[in-house]
Structure 1
Amino acid sequence: MARKSLPDFTADVLSDEAANIESVRKRLLSYYRDQKFKYFIPSSIEFMESLKSSDKGDFESRIFSLFDSLSGELLGLRPDITPQIARIDRSISQDTDDKIRKYCYVGSILHSVPAGMYSSREQFQIGCEIFGPKDLNLDLEIQRIAVKSVELLGVNKGSFCITHRGIFLALCEADEFLRSNQSRAISLLRKKDKIALGVMVSNMKPEIGEALLNLIDLSGSVYQDEGLMQEARNRLPKLDKIVKALKDLDFIIDRVKNSHGFISDSHWELLLDLADLDGYQYHTGVMFSIFVGGWHDAILRGGRYDKVRTIVGDSRPGVGFSLELKRLSKLVSDLQSNEKFPLNSVSIEDSVGIGKSIVVVGTQWGDEGKGKVVDLLTENAQAVVRFQGGHNAGHTLVADGRKTILSLIPSGILRPNVKCFIGNGVVISLKALIAEMKSLEIIGVDVKERLKISWLCPLVLETHALIDKANEIAKGKNKIGTTGRGIGPAYEDKIARRALRISDLYDLSSFKKKLYTSIDFHELVLKKIYGYDSPVDRALIFDEIADLAPTVLDLAGDVSLKLMESLKRKENILFEGAQGSLLDIDHGTYPYVTSSNCVASAVGAGVGLGPKYFGNVLGVAKAYVTRVGEGPFPTEINGEIASHLAEKGMEFGSVTGRPRRIGWFDSVTMRRSAVTNGLTSLCITKLDVLDGLDKIRVCTGYECDSDVIRVMPSFSRPSNCKPIYEELPGWSEQTGNVESWEQLPLNAKNYLNRISELCELPISIISTGPDRKNIIFLEKVFV
């Protein structure tokens, strides 16, 4: 990877964007001054001692530090301006001063680490703070100013969401384990990750753990669910601070609902979400946020705090909010460029331009670790879609130490708020699908509420599996190495226009006739071609399918239109490939391939959307290469190193359990994958498996009949080719669990840089272990 002039998660602000930012700044400051807020510009740099005294945890970990040669002390660049305003107010006011003072501010802030995968480390913050008595009317005033701020800029539709930090703090006071793990709990609550949170609460007092889990369910529209607050009282413990917090929320909700001057447009939705606790740790009371369609996170956040610790003493109680000017100007720019489509109208051109999509594909012979990558990226997606393959493809996910293997259901199913779709390009075994659903339901995943399957999906029958296995046996030494699960024969029937689809299940009488016709044909093939004489119990096959049909039909629908509706709502969609590009029926190492198109261009046909709706293509590759089954494998190795990598990398098929063949990284096949998929970046997985090797080889070309080639031929020539290797020094340090580029060993960085150079692609993600947290993001993916 070529060295850049700017560090990751920073960018220059160019002319047009700078003009937009300045315009937004002026409009907001003018409004705040009209509302009697005094304008301050605090210093961007302070003594570290002063900054650290403001808060602990998240705040302190974000501070950039540097040495001051004049004072000989450590300085810090502010990660937030609110504590500075609190310090200024504390300096102006006396301890007993109840006078209400209002401040507004603008300035740049810098985070040592980004707040999230899509956040900038360098931000332009604008906001307002009110200091004075603990009066909820001041909360209402600052919330009204916040809503008017975004309305001033043309945002007249969205969600105003409220919560109360005091509920969570009361639970922390009642449980020592929760008190010591607040950041982790808040992160899981925000993601609404009940599975991981369920594991965490096993270490807590039962009543507190149950209450923490209940917070996830206590959310919704206060207009549509008037019993929501009563439900909160019923499901939360009667601790004094929780009782007071609920009273505060009752007051705010009542005033907001009945105030004509607060939310003036009917397109604003008032939400309560007791699990949305994102913000700085100094918040202690009512918190609020504003969400707008098409943005993965709130565009504005604020709340009440009893005090902020400063170097001059604890501040007075305050309430405030802040916005990030770069993000805000981008939103305004989007609105201005689509002025002919008001925010409350529905137009494909307006919506699809903001709802983003990404295609994730394997670039080798499968088993690259796509499932984990998809699972991670779904944190910023609203839907995940499978578009090809069947239950011959296995994705292994590890979240908080628990391993889950999926074959048909998209990897996003482990994210509580993500919808999952199976497109028409997937062939479905009803038995395999129902079994997978049940395995997920056992661990608390609500599959039926979030999974939709295309009516057009062909069915995989038991006779397909019989033909598949019989065909492999007949080939003998020339076998393909299929899983024997009937995927190939099911696709054969689809192409031959004799396949049965999920839509056929609506009329079981008609379906039965079609099924028996198919079985007759399959029996003829089995008997005449493969010599299979055992009778097939067609009645049993029909009965089993008929029993499963109602469950599947409840999930069936027009996936193409549902995805279009998601794009209209400006939702991010992730399309998840199965197998790997080198197994593609057209572009792989034919005939040792799978029966479907695995490359990115198959997405359109596999889900029923045109190519203009797809964005970036992320290619997933291991730091070495594996292959299951037969077929050419130019960089395959055997012996001690191969055994070491197989054992350390647990290289056994997640579906079949078959051992995988092992090889060095192959840039020749990777260049072919880059072409056939139109890759925009790479994700390298299992880097940690290479730890401890003295030397690591990379294939840079093939020597074929005295010719040297750098891109894999489009036909099965690799079996006659000899790999050309470049040897790189390994590393003795452990990369497992490393979570930043800077922490990687030098030789590991050099290895990754060399892969990037050879493949002529940037590396955007590095996986250093099986768990969700073992990941390094180098670049944004959803853009």
Structure 2
Amino acid sequence: MFYHVSMEQCTLRCDHSFFLHLSRSKSISMASRPTTATRRSSASIHPFPNPSSVCIVLGAQWGDEGKGKLVDLLASEADIVCRCQGGNNAGHSVVVEGVEYDFHMLPSGFHLQNCVNIIGNGCVVNLPELVEEIQKNESRGVTNWKERLLISDRAHLVFDFHKLSDGLIERGRGTSSLGTTKKGIGPTYSSKATRNGIRVVDLIGDFSIFTDKLRSLYNYYKLTFPDLDIDIEKTIEQFKGLAEYFRPMIIDTIAYLNQSILDGSKKILVEGANATMLDIDFGTYPYVTSSNCSVGGVCTGLGLAPKYIGDIYGVVKAYTTRVGDGVFPTELKNEIGEHLQTRGREWGVTTGRKRRCGWLDLVLLRYTTMINGFTALCLTKLDTLDELAEIKIATTYKRNGVELPSFPASVDTMHDIEVEYVTFPGWRGRSTSECRTFNSLPHNARLYVQFIEQFLGVPVKWIGVGKDRMAMIRCF
């Protein structure tokens, strides 16, 4: 079912009565955009309003929202950039002066000369592949990184048998595969939960004890996966060299970060990997990742108290994409979906897989906003919509004709839902790619942004209109 937005300007309330109105009305009208003065009361002007607070950037959909671009923008004002969860199954791209940097395990401040980069205790780290990632970025001009990269001694290590078992598990699921990246992330977190995992601190301790633990863990995996064929002695020698390579960078990052906060002079930025709808607890389970990608994962993945958290920025693509399998209520399996995929260059940084594309889903975003408590949003890739005559936004899920009161927990329920949309006139013929202020956007593009803000009750602080780092509108 579709509703059409009228062009008249009148009041739109973001409360329960508005949602009732939305479900009954054939026409939604727009309020005028809040003034800068009004916005200042709801979100700070400076990304680091309190020098001792922690600024967080999180994905609000299924990943690939463009978090890296916002992190790159904010990192120029940060002293420390942190990863708190996940591994090299994530991927961020940053373009600086025509040079594109791809970060998977490395934090997105790695290329900035004055920025310390931390891989936190909640991460799982594949050290051989981390070396390759470092060398790749060195070849693109990154220097002085050894003094700026810190790895938590409590982070868990990913080994080749984790990766191989990941692939075997996925293959065993057959037609029910989850679309894993096969990077060994899930099995490594399983080792952590089973309490036979190996941490970074084990690597730099007594190496004979590390060797015993590694052999024991490999034998454990061999019992479950007899076909695993790893030269464990070669792995031991490899990690002996890696221990010395990374030893100067391995510290107690929990103590380091908390002391940095107490000193009151360090600006700390946290970039979430993956996204809230891939969170192990809150995502579309089982089509999720193996860590907490929401705001709680910041506290547990870095050892930070909630009282230190400042602004929480949610990154939202102007439409919706998803890599791999799993439910996708607004997916477009037609020429519009193909158009979004082509124009938006929708293929994964980590896997190269094409992303599925669909309309923006505000039911989903209302859910992730509730979980994370976003103080402001960054709306990315608005320019991808420039050539569409009409644009739709999902506002309601129904099942058997009854509106669902919240985002469903069961993927079986998700298969049966009916999605209701609001239809907007596009702004075809008016490019957004050169716009650098909100008021310079086409009128219909402004209406689109306003509707998102007022439905969610969260202001849009940035709007991305291109791939370059400067192709970003700051609204307030």
TM-score when scaled to structure 2? 0.89
Q: CA offsets, 1:41-73, max 9 Å, x none?
A: xxxxxxxxxxxxxxxxxxxxxxxxxxxxxxxxx
Query: Which residue of 1 is the match for residue 18 of structure 2?
Result: none
Structure 1 position 500, deviation (Å): 0.5
Give the Cα separation in 2 of the matches to 1:3 and 1:369.
27
Tell me, what secondary structure is at the counterpart of 1:633? coil
Give the Cα separation in 2 of the matches to 1:559 and 1:720.
46
Query: Which residue of 1 is the match for residue 151 of structure 2?
Result: 453
Query: Which residue of 1 is the match for residue 243 of structure 2?
Result: 549
Tell me whether 1:764 sits opposite 2:458 in the alignment: no
Query: Which residue of 1 is the match for residue 386 of structure 2?
Result: 691
Within a 5 Å distance, the mapping from 1:258-337 to structure 2 comes to none
Query: Which residue of 1 is the match for residue 17 of structure 2?
Result: none
Tell me whether 1:465 sits opposite 2:169 in the alignment: no
Structure 1 position 535, deviation (Å): 3.0
Q: CA offsets, 1:89-136, max 9 Å, x none?
A: xxxxxxxxxxxxxxxxxxxxxxxxxxxx749xxxxxxxxxxxxxxxxx
> In the superposition, relative to structure 1, how do residues 372 and 10 fare at CA in structure 2: closer, same or farther (>3 Å)?
closer
Query: Which residue of 2 is the match for residue 723 of structure 1?
Result: 419
Within a 5 Å distance, the mapping from 1:98-137 to structure 2 comes to 118=46
Which runs of 4 or more aligned residues in structure 1 lie more than 6 Å from their structure 2 counterparts after TM superposition? 8-12
Query: Which residue of 2 is the match for residue 742 of structure 1?
Result: 439
Tell me whether 1:536 sits opposite 2:230 in the alignment: yes
> In the superposition, relative to structure 1, how do residues 710 and 372 fare at CA in structure 2: closer, same or farther (>3 Å)?
farther
Tell me, what secondary structure is at the counterpart of 2:55? strand
Tell me whether 1:357 sits opposite 2:51 in the alignment: no
> In the superposition, relative to structure 1, how do residues 699 and 4 fare at CA in structure 2: closer, same or farther (>3 Å)?
closer
Confirm or deny: 8 A CA contact 1:756 1:762 kept in the other structure: yes
CA RMSD of superposed structures (Å): 1.9
Give the Cα separation in 2 of the matches to 1:628 and 1:559.
32
Tell me, what secondary structure is at the counterpart of 1:515? helix
Confirm or deny: 8 A CA contact 1:700 1:710 kept in the other structure: no
Tell me whether 1:616 sits opposite 2:296 in the alignment: no
Corresponding residue to 2:209 among 496, 510, 519: 510
Q: CA offsets, 1:668-704, max 9 Å, x none?
A: 0101101111111111000000011000010011111
Structure 1 position 737, deviation (Å): 3.3
Query: Letter of the aligned partner of 2:236 in structure 1?
Result: F
Confirm or deny: 8 A CA contact 2:110 2:145 kept in the other structure: yes
Give the Cα separation in 2 of the matches to 1:699 and 1:10.
25
Give the Cα separation in 2 of the matches to 1:674 and 1:395.
22
Corresponding residue to 2:256 among 558, 562, 580: 562
Tell me whether 1:491 sits opposite 2:186 in the alignment: no
Tell me, what secondary structure is at the counterpart of 2:171? helix
Tell me whether 1:412 sits opposite 2:117 in the alignment: no
Confirm or deny: 8 A CA contact 1:768 1:774 kept in the other structure: yes
> In the superposition, relative to structure 1, how do residues 626 and 472 fare at CA in structure 2: closer, same or farther (>3 Å)?
same
Query: Which residue of 2 is the match for residue 434 of structure 1?
Result: 131
Query: Letter of the aligned partner of 1:619 in structure 2?
Result: G
Tell me, what secondary structure is at the counterpart of 2:467? coil
Query: Letter of the aligned partner of 1:597 in structure 2?
Result: N
Query: Letter of the aligned partner of 2:209 in structure 1?
Result: S
Give the Cα separation in 2 of the matches to 1:514 and 1:376.
42
Query: Which residue of 2 is the match for residue 480 of structure 1?
Result: 178
Give the Cα separation in 2 of the matches to 1:715 and 1:11.
39
Structure 1 position 431, deviation (Å): 1.1
Deviates more, 1:443-452 or 1:748-757: 443-452
Tell me, what secondary structure is at the counterpart of 2:76? helix
Structure 1 position 710, deviation (Å): 5.5
Query: Letter of the aligned partner of 1:526 in structure 2?
Result: F
Corresponding residue to 2:352 among 657, 663, 667: 657
Tell me, what secondary structure is at the counterpart of 1:554? helix
Confirm or deny: 8 A CA contact 1:391 1:407 kept in the other structure: yes
Structure 1 position 760, deviation (Å): 2.0
Confirm or deny: 8 A CA contact 1:375 1:414 kept in the other structure: no
Give the Cα separation in 1 of the matches to 2:122 and 2:39.
40
TM-score when scaled to structure 1? 0.55
Tell me, what secondary structure is at the counterpart of 2:473? strand
Q: CA offsets, 1:248-269, max 9 Å, x none?
A: xxxxxxxxxxxxxxxxxxxxxx
Structure 1 position 487, deviation (Å): 0.2
Tell me, what secondary structure is at the counterpart of 1:601? helix
Give the Cα separation in 2 of the matches to 1:684 and 1:565.
34
Structure 1 position 746, deviation (Å): 0.5
Give the Cα separation in 1 of the matches to 2:135 and 2:101.
13
Tell me whether 1:583 sits opposite 2:270 in the alignment: no
Corresponding residue to 2:409 among 692, 714, 720: 714
Structure 1 position 6, deviation (Å): 4.8
Query: Letter of the aligned partner of 2:242 in structure 1?
Result: L
Within a 5 Å distance, the mapping from 1:25-424 to structure 2 comes to 118=46, 354-424=51-121
Give the Cα separation in 1 of the matches to 2:292 and 2:353.
23
Tell me whether 1:599 sits opposite 2:298 in the alignment: no
Confirm or deny: 8 A CA contact 1:405 1:654 kept in the other structure: yes
Unaligned 5+ residue runs, structure 2?
A: 1-29
Higher relative contact order (CA 8 A, sep 6+): 2
Structure 1 position 8, deviation (Å): 6.2
Give the Cα separation in 2 of the matches to 1:472 and 1:455.
30
Query: Letter of the aligned partner of 2:89 in structure 1?
Result: N
Give the Cα separation in 2 of the matches to 1:676 and 1:752.
22
Greater Rg over alpha carbons, structure: 1
Confirm or deny: 8 A CA contact 1:355 1:570 kept in the other structure: yes
Give the Cα separation in 1 of the matches to 2:78 and 2:219.
45
Unaligned 5+ residue runs, structure 1?
A: 13-116, 120-293, 296-352
Q: CA offsets, 1:485-532, max 9 Å, x none?
A: 1000000000111110111112211111100000001111112xxxx2
Tell me, what secondary structure is at the counterpart of 1:411? coil
Tell me, what secondary structure is at the counterpart of 1:464? helix
Structure 1 position 550, deviation (Å): 1.1
Structure 1 position 3, deviation (Å): 4.3
